[in-house]
Structure 1
């Protein structure tokens, strides 16, 4: 699945926690370190599968496990407008 992180979404680290800021609505969402890393991979590659492969390799976790965890995460981000299917 092709994904895009919209320009109005910023990722920051604040006091060791990762935050997604929706600059349009001024809402912020905390995410885990792995969630922030996944979003950065999506930003770099524009593809969910490639992002999952990279996270899987970096953390020595099976592709299937990462895919299972990231699928619901991606669905939630899409619903909030923090990721866009392209």
Structure 2
């Protein structure tokens, strides 16, 4: 019972720290980086990596049914799928 209480206290402390850090953050957007840096370049492609097996079925179904393309189309992005073999 004592170990459960310790875990709960630890989780509560972690949540409190994360809440404090979030409260200390600024709502204002940070200034844009220099024009030549990678952070300022627009991303045009979403790369989707997955293993072609049952554990990554959501990626396979999403690609087959076109869910990913439909989701990024309004944003002006494209999806580039890449299958990895383990």
TM-score by length of 1: 0.26
Q: Between the two structures, name the one with larger relative contact order (CA 8 Å, sep ≥ 6).
A: 1
Bigger radius of gyration among the two: 2
Q: Which of the pair is proportionally richer in strand?
A: 1
TM-score by length of 2: 0.26
